[in-house]
Each structure stands twice: as structure tokens, then as C-alpha cells.
Chains A and B, each alone.
Chain A
Amino acid sequence: MKYREALRAALQEEMERDATVFCVGEGIGERGGSYKVTEGLLAQFGPGRVIDTPLSEAGFVGLGAGAAIAGQRPVVEILFIDFLLQAMDQVVNQAAKYRFMSGGEGRVPLVVRTQGGTGNSLAGQHSQSLEALYYHVPGLKVVMPATPRDAKGLLKSAIRDDDPVIFIEHKLLYMTDGEVPAEDYLIPLGQADIKRSGSDVTLVAWSHMVVKSLQAAELLAAEGISTEVIDLRTLVPMDVDCVLDSVRRTGRLVIAQEAIKRGGVGSDVAAIVAERAFDHLRAPIVRVAGWNTTIPFNLGLEKASVPQVDDIVAGVRSVVQSGAAAGT
């Protein structure tokens, strides 16, 4: 099943299961959304639950929060995470804080489905990886699935969750294929997944970087380097124990993220491991991340601006080599 079909199946199942679940966004009805995730939902659930909006992002994200507070379970689609910035106040000041500021009584079971990343020469305002902005804000959960199976199980959990969830898809993943269980299943938020076991080095990634990390691990295996690839799947809550446990076994950590390095989630992963597993590290932690730049339009520059498989391979190699030099 394709990633986008898995997302659609999650929406469909949750809408069938729970009448309070509805979808709202630009061109999600008849057109089925830019990446065709919501195709067919209008026909099944009607315009009352699959709602097309004008280009009023701040408005309909806030409206989603309001409907959620009042007991519905809205899934708001924002075509590009770059446009979600228009609704920053609604997300950060309204949805994220509502539960806490109401003394814990309020609930905001809102899901904002959006999409980011490079890969299609869409330039500076359609290619960003902005997860760190949302990662930073208390009260939000942040989910970034890499496979169809995870996409479906996590979206279902996100919809059932009582807190606002920023659910970030990647434009290069929609057409990827993968196994999806036939039976009903959920993947809990806050559970990382070891996508490949290894013993020499821990490689942490999320979203499309998981795909590249697995390719890198394959190349590294041919050189005799055994890489454990951990897919965080949800950034908030983060499965810190899974990462720490792996690092305690391998003694080395590389983090691969598409977002720019400065202030990224990878920096936080590095800090957490440095604080809690420093004694197990046999080499300095390495972050393989995007350069500090607006994403360029030109394809060659775009590729150079974010980590490619070769960069991840080089990053892993460097820690294995520096680890060996440090000696044990």
C-alpha cells in the first residue's frame, strides 16, 4: 500500500468509527487534496464532514481548535507546512496552551496534517522542514511517519489523542510503497521503531531521512559497519529510552535530519544523549543535517542543501573511525 493510501485508510476508518471525526482544508473534497490523500472521502462522508475551505489558514486552523474544544475531532489539512506558519498563533497560543491554562479541564483533540521537505524543486516557501518550531512548543505532539504502516497506525492514534497533534508528512513519501497490516491496528505516539538492528553505531532519523538512512546502512554494511537505524516516528513525545538503550550498546550516535542543523531536533537528541549516556559514548556525536540556508530552486543546489545518502554514510564512517582512533 502506498503511504498516501495508508493515510487515506486511516482517515476513512476513523471517520467510520467516530462520527465526530471530520476533515477540513483546501481542495480536499472533489479534488482530493494536492497529494490525493483525501480522495474519495467526500463521496463517502459528504460535504458536512469533508469540508473545502478558502485560503484562510489562520481561520480554519483556529476553527479546528474551536471545534475540537467543543467536542469534535477535526483533521485539518494544510497543503504545505510552510503555510502553517500563517496559523502560528492559533497553534501555539491557542490550541497548544488551552488544556494547561484551563487547569487541565479543556481538551483539544485536533490533528493538523501537513507536509514538508525538499525534493521537487519547489524552492524556499514550499520545501522547508519546520518540525523544530512545533517540537519546541509545550502542549503539542509532533508525529513524522516514514512508512505506510507507520503513517496509518500513527494517524489513527493522533486522531484519538486528546491533545493537538502536528502530523507532518513528506512530499517524497506519498508514492512510496510498504506493507500495511490487514487487521485494525494502532501505533502509539511516543514509540520509536528500530528499522534496522546493528551493533557499531546508532543512526537516529525520522520522516524521509529514515529512507535515506536505511540506504546508507546498506552501503555501510558492505564496508563492514553495522548500523542500527532508529526511526523516532514521533518527536513529541520522544522515545528517549529507545535511543539511550541503543547508544549504550553501540557507543556511537549519528543523527540524520533534513532540517537545518541550527536549533534542530537533532541537536536536542544529541544533548539528551550527552546528558544521559555520555559514559557510553566512544566517539563524539555527529549531526548530519541541512545547511543553514533557504532551500534553493535549482535542483543541484537543492540537493546540496540537505543531506544525501552519501553524507549520511560519511557521517557514520567518521564516528566509527574516530571511535576506533579513541580506542577502547
Chain B
Amino acid sequence: MSEIGADLLLSMYEMTETIRRFEQQAIAQYRLGNIRGYFHPYLGEEAIAVGAMAAIEPDDYIVSTHRGHGHALAKGHEPRRMMAELFGKESGYCRGRGGSMHVASRSVRNLGANGIVGGGLAIAAGAALAIKQREGPEVVVAFCSDGSSANGIWHESMNLAAIWDLPVIFVLENNQYAVSTPIRDSARVEHLSQRAAGYGMPGVTVDGNDAAIVYGAMQEPLRRARAGEGPSLVECLTYRHGGHHVNDPGLYLPPEELQRWKAHDPLIVLRARLARAGVDEAAITLIDERVERLIDEAVEFATASPNPSVEDFLAEVATL
């Protein structure tokens, strides 16, 4: 990864910090009662979205998950309209109708987060089929979770993508838990990436807390996909910085395990890389300040935005 320059490191740092701040501020707004419903923070896992998105083109597609704020931000969603969606406001990406688990936008080619674990995987394969039929240059990055790998749709989607050489890259975010169930209770393989062999596609397992490593791990799968050689599976090992959702204290996470992963925080990893690349503190401080303003402004925008009109909604739905 020596070829990753300071500019790319800086932009990955800025996005990591953006996701981090966004989540922290959104959680604060949740505590104030301004955000409701389910909210699965991406805290601690930012490097995966950041590294994967740095590797793809704006025209490439993604499908996201229930833990999807980071994917959306890294794919180019504006923090203000994301925040507004979490607030359930009309100015949000889904006009307040979808919320955290359903953020989607055609404009940035995010085919959508999902409330159903694994729900996006066949959608991803389908979008990849559409690209192939149109002979387009794009690929689909399908974010998925360790929990989804126990679900039939994960296996069916991988197999379909493999047999038809579809341009999709399955990025498995293995944070090692499905709510409180550790992955070792759900799978007998040491690495979930081993399963790729069963579908006849390459699979690797990498450090998902290092955006530069994730970025690097995407290169060969992207080459393959764009060359019409089919899908790949990139398993990224990571860890949540807290409970499953904002109201889960996560007491089942062994403290030493959590501490070990927190010491390997994506931000710490990137800062170390920046230092090694000779980037000085001042440049980082500048980014931190810019991100802070951006997210503060997002909260102000969401707060000031109106709720969707109940009358308009009823006019849409009151048909039968």
C-alpha cells in the first residue's frame, strides 16, 4: 500500500471523521428525542465504507445495510439531507418516509440501506445483471454483514453472481457479532471469506479498520468485475464501538476485546499513516474543524426543516 499518497490519505481521513462526527451528533440528537426508531451506529467500522468508496467511481452502485449511515456518507450523500432523513423531515433523502434503515438516493447511486438483514444482496446482483445487459462499465459494491452470511439470500446471491460473472463485489463487514450473538456461534469456518470458494469466486479477509488496506483489497476485485470476470468477496474484520443500536448498551461485548479494537480505531490507524506520510497536525486540525462545521450545519438544517405534510401523505395514500 506504499503507493497511497498523502492526498488520498487526507481525503479518507476527512470522510472517516465526517462519519464519526455525524454518528456522534446523530446519537446526541437521538438522546434529545429528535431522532426516533432504530439507529445502528457505524462507529468503529468507518474504514470499510471509506476504503471501499475511495476505490470506486461515482457512477458505481452500492447497496447498503441497516448499519448504513457510513456507506451513504462515503458514497456522497450530503450530511444535511441524511440528518434530515434521520429526523424524519421532508427535506431528507426519503422525505421522512424511510428513516435511518432505508436511506437511498438515485443521485449518488446508493440503491438503499435495508431493514432486512441481507435484503440488499439479490438487489445488488440484479443491478449488476442490469449493468452487464447494458454493457456498462460500472460495478456494484454490496455491503453485507456477518449475520447475513447465515441467511439463504446471501448464498443464493453469491452463487447467481458467480455463475453469471456479474460485476459485483461483496464487501462483508464482519464486526463479529449479530446483536449479541458472536459469529463463532453462527459459522463453523474460521473466515467467512472461505465460503467464496464454494461459489467459485475469490475471497479474502483483511483488516477492516485500516481504510488503506480496504482500499488496496478492492483493487483486484474491481479489475475482475470490470473485466467481466465476475464477483469477489472481501471480508473486512472490524468491531462495533458499542451496542447493536443506540439503545443497546452492549454489555455482552467483552471489555478487553472492545478495548483492543478501540485501540485500533480507524481514525487512529489513519492518523498514524498520515504521520508516516509526513502530513503535519495543522492539516488534520483544519479538516477536523471543517467537518465539525459541516455536521453542526447538518443538525441545524435538519432541525429547521419541516415535517412532511400529513395532508399530502393522505392525498397520496387515501385511495381505498
Chain A residues in the interface with B (C-beta under 8 A): 26-27, 30-31, 52, 54-59, 82-83, 86, 120-126, 261-262, 291-294, 296-301, 304-305
Contacts and interface: CB of A to CB of B under 8 A. Distances in A.
Interface stretch (B10-18, B51-59, B283-291, B305-313): B305-313
17 contacts: A26-B178, A54-B186, A55-B151, A123-B99, A124-B102, A125-B101, A261-B320, A291-B318, A296-B97, A297-B99, A297-B100, A298-B88, A298-B89, A298-B308, A300-B310, A301-B310, A301-B313
B115 A123 contact: yes
Given A26-B179, A123-B101, A124-B102, A56 B152 contact: yes
A294 B102 CA distance: 12
A56 B149 CA distance: 9
Nearest to A294: B97
A298 B178 contact: no
A298 B151 contact: no
B: contact size bracket: 35 or more
Contact of B38 (A86, A122, A298, A304): A122
A28 to B, nearest CB: 10
A210 to B, nearest CB: 24
A126 to B, nearest CB: 6
Contacts of A291: 314, 317-318
B277 interface: no
B150 interface: yes
B219 interface: no
B150 A56 contact: yes
B181 interface: yes
B185 A298 contact: no
A57 B147 CA distance: 12
B314 A304 contact: yes
Contacts of B101: 123, 125-126
B133 interface: no
A31 B180 CA distance: 7
A57 B153 CA distance: 11
Given A54-B186, A296-B96, A126 B151 contact: no
A86 B147 CA distance: 15
A30 B180 contact: yes
B313 A55 contact: no
A292 B319 contact: yes
A305 B317 contact: yes
A126 B88 contact: no
Contact of B102 (A30, A52, A297): A297
Given A59-B152, A299-B88, A126 B115 contact: yes
B94 A297 contact: yes
Contacts of A305: 313, 317
Contacts of B185: 52, 54
Given A121-B36, A121-B88, A299-B36, 17 more contacts: A54-B185, A56-B151, A82-B116, A83-B116, A120-B37, A126-B38, A262-B320, A291-B314, A296-B96, A296-B308, A297-B88, A297-B97, A297-B98, A298-B89, A298-B308, A300-B308, A301-B310
A121 B99 contact: yes
Given A31-B180, A297-B88, A297-B102, A292 B320 contact: yes
Nearest to B312: A301
A300 B314 CA distance: 11
A239 B181 CA distance: 41
A298 B116 contact: no
A234 to B, nearest CB: 27
A293 B98 CA distance: 13
B252 A30 contact: yes
Question: Which of A55, A57, A83, A122 has the most B CB atoms < 10 Å from its CB?
Answer: A55
Contacts of B150: 54-56
B94 to A, nearest CB: 7
A193 to B, nearest CB: 30
Which 6 A-B residue pairs are closest in the complex by CB-CB distance? A297-B99, A54-B150, A125-B115, A298-B88, A54-B186, A121-B37
Nearest to B319: A292
A297 B37 contact: yes
Interface in B273-310: 307-308, 310
Contacts of B115: 82, 122-126
Contacts of B317: 291-293, 305
A128 to B, nearest CB: 11
B238 to A, nearest CB: 18
B305 to A, nearest CB: 11
B97 A298 contact: yes
Interface in B59-102: 88-89, 94, 96-102
B151 A57 contact: yes
A122 B97 CA distance: 10
A228 B59 CA distance: 60
Contacts of B99: 121, 123, 297-298
Nearest to A85: B116
A121 B101 CA distance: 11
A86 B313 CA distance: 29
Contacts of B178: 26, 54-55
Contact of B179 (A31, A86, A296, A299): A31
Interface string B163-186: 000000000000000111100011
B116 A125 contact: yes
Interface in B109-126: 114-119
A27 B308 contact: no
Contact of B310 (A55, A262, A297, A304): A304
